[in-house]
């Protein structure tokens, strides 16, 4: 029979749980792993449970019936001890700890959700508070209530077993564990696009951020679902760029409708190929993080999304525009990390760089060149930058670094990896084809 979790029923459940664990302390570790002190409604129950938690944390080997009685008498007085003995006499130690804990947790989450919604109802009538900010706050708090519940089994043995199973699965197909990027040198450096990871790719305008994102879509092909949140370009532009890149057709000739019959045939073949790829594009400009993450969640639920790309970070609107921009961007990267881990996806954030780097001799980007970079370095698992020296060459095609001048290589692109969790940082040299706006692995240094 389904319980109606009114306050009196919840207090009864809490008292029965305390009766069991104080008469049979061997069940206390399980109870503490399932229910925490704030989950309890009754103030007396919270006091006793907090005391039991402290005993287990500070003197786990000494916890028995006698030590519990002594601690309750010392901390809660004779009245507290009499109440505990009365509850033991009423309920005994035969109940099911897991069943009780499950119902206590459900009641706790309902109370927390009601409190969140009550505050939101008060804010919704305040014209000075943006509606989007209220929705984002409520959504975050409600998700947090469920996230706080966690997994019942948090033991090292569980994670050991999962690690062993993951290794056995990867052993069937050795190599980088993540989704292929389409660039083998990058896959070897970062391990591919791995689950639960946030990858930030920064560059100055015209360096090829969007082209690299399209390369990732090409790398995933039909094997994995990819979603692109395009805040700067529309979906048709991305599709046309991808077609020209795959067909190896000059995108300027495509834009001006000057293709030869041969080139048009190549475009048609690329169209047939890409039409089978499970890729989705949201082209709405000016999305808030709530709207953006809602779309990613939708793709994940409906299509099994594996990789999400956001183009680009600084164009995301915050629900509360009154916040300083640095705080806004910090909240985006923190929420991105939480979302990637929750859904088990790779989340790629493209980012714009400060123009200050153009005044340096060595214009290879650094962490400090990220706009509003406060938490990006902290929250991201991988931070890399695109650098193409030809963009800084003079009219003769030469580039000056310090006192040394050399001829810039128009086909050279570098991915400068400044952060690479669990792996090495460094520079990856790629080939850049400007006519096709396409990155490729270099066959020679």
Residues 28-63: tens digit of each pLDDT? 888 887 888 888 888 888 888 888 888 887 777 778
Candidates 384, 426, 397, 430; CA nearest to 411 is: 430
The sign of the CA dihedral 154, 157, 158, 160 is positive
Structure tokens at 200: 């930030």
Q: Are 375 and 383 in contact (CB under 8 A)?
A: no
Can you tell me whether residue 352 is helix, strand or coil? strand
Provide the mean pLDDT of the chain.
85
pLDDT at position 129 over 70: no
Q: Are 193 and 159 in contact (CB under 8 A)?
A: no
pLDDT at position 2 over 60: no
**pLDDT at site 147:** 60
b/e burial code for range 343-367 (CB count within 10 A of at least 16 → b): bebbbbbbbbbeeebeeeeebebbe
pLDDT band, very low/low/confident/very high, at 194 (cuts 50, 70, 90): very high
In this predicted model, which residue has the larger pLDDT, 406 or 282?
282
Q: Lowest-pLDDT range, 92-96, 168-172, 214-218, 246-250?
A: 92-96
Q: Report the alpha-carbon distance of residue 253 to residue 239 in Å, rounded.
A: 15
Q: Is 402 exposed, middle or buried (0-12, 13-18, 19+ CB in 10 A)?
A: exposed
Average pLDDT over residues 179-186: 93
Average pLDDT over residues 270-279: 92
344-367 residue pLDDT tens: 899 999 998 888 787 787 888 988
Count how many residues are written for the chain. 445
Measured in whole angstroms, the distance separating CA 378 from the mean position of its chain's CA atoms is: 13
Structure tokens at 221: 């092909």
Backbone phi and psi for residue 281, each to the nearest 5 degrees, phi listed first: -130, 125
Average pLDDT over residues 388-395: 86
Q: Which residues neighbour 125 within 8 Å (Cβ) at sequence distance 6 or greater?
A: none
Q: Report the alpha-carbon distance of residue 44 to residue 31 in Å, rounded.
A: 17
**pLDDT at site 1:** 41
Q: What percent of the chain has pLDDT over 70?
A: 93
**What pTM, to 2 d.p., does this model score?**
0.68
- DSSP lists the bridge partners of residue 408 as none
**pLDDT at site 114:** 86
At the topology level of CATH, where does 178-441 sit? Rossmann fold (3.40.50)
Long-range contacts of 187-192 (CB under 8 A, 24+ apart): 189/415, 189/417, 189/420, 189/423, 189/424, 189/426, 189/428, 190/382, 190/384, 190/417, 190/420, 190/423, 191/423
Average pLDDT over residues 311-323: 84
Q: Which residues neighbour 190 within 8 Å (Cβ) at sequence distance 6 or greater?
A: 176, 178, 181, 199, 382, 384, 417, 420, 423
pLDDT band, very low/low/confident/very high, at 128 (cuts 50, 70, 90): low
pLDDT at position 155 over 80: no
Q: Lowest-pLDDT range, 156-160, 206-210, 340-344, 407-411?
A: 156-160
Which H/E stretch holds residue 87?
A: helix 65-91
Domain boundaries, the chain: 7-146, 178-441
**pLDDT at site 186:** 95
- CATH architecture designation of domain 7-146: Orthogonal Bundle (1.10)
The string of DSSP letters for 404-416 reads EEEE--TTEEEEE
Q: Is 304 exposed, middle or buried (0-12, 13-18, 19+ CB in 10 A)?
A: exposed
């Amino acid at each position: 029979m389904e319980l109606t979790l009114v306050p009196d029923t919840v207090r009864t459940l809490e008292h029965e749980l305390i009766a069991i664990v104080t008469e049979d302390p061997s069940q206390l570790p399980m109870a503490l792993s399932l229910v925490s002190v704030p989950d309890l409604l009754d103030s007396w129950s919270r006091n006793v449970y907090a005391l039991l938690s402290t005993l287990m944390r500070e003197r786990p080997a000494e916890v028995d019936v006698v030590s519990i009685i002594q601690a309750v008498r010392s901390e809660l007085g004779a009245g507290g001890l009499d109440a505990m003995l009365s509850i033991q006499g009423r309920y005994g130690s035969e109940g099911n700890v897991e069943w009780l804990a499950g119902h206590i947790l459900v009641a706790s989450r309902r109370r927390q959700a009601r409190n969140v919604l009550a505050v939101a109802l008060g804010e919704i009538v305040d014209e000075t508070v943006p509606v989007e900010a209220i929705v984002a706050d409520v959504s975050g708090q409600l998700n947090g209530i469920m996230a706080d519940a966690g997994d019942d089994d948090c033991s090292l043995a569980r994670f050991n077993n999962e690690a062993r199973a993951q290794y056995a699965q990867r052993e069937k197909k050795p190599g980088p564990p993540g989704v292929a990027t389409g660039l083998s040198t990058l896959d070897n450096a970062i391990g591919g696009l791995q689950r639960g990871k946030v990858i930030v790719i920064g560059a100055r305008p015209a360096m090829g951020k969007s082209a690299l994102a399209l390369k990732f879509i090409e790398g995933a092909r039909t094997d994995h679902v990819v979603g692109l949140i395009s805040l700067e370009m529309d979906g048709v532009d991305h599709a046309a760029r991808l077609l020209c890149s795959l067909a190896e057709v000059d995108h300027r000739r495509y834009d001006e409708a000057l293709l030869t019959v041969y080139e048009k045939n190549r475009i048609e073949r690329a169209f047939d190929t890409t039409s089978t790829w499970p890729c989705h594009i949201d082209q709405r400009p000016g999305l808030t993080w709530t709207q953006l993450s809602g779309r990613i969640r939708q793709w994940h639920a409906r299509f099994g999304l594996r990789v999400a790309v956001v183009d680009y970070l600084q164009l995301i609107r915050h629900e509360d525009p009154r916040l300083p921009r640095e705080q806004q961007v910090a909240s985006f990267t923190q929420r991105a990390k939480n979302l990637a881990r929750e859904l088990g996806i790779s989340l790629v954030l493209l980012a714009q760089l400060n123009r200050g780097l153009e005044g340096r001799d060595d214009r290879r980007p650094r962490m400090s060149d990220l706009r509003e970079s406060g938490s990006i370095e902290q929250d991201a698992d991988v931070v890399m930058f695109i650098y193409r020296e030809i963009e800084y060459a003079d009219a003769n095609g030469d580039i000056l670094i310090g006192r040394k001048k050399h001829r810039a290589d128009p086909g050279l692109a570098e991915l400068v990896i400044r952060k690479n969790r669990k792996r090495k940082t460094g520079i990856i040299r790629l080939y850049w084809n400007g006519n096709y706006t396409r990155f490729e692995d270099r066959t020679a240094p």
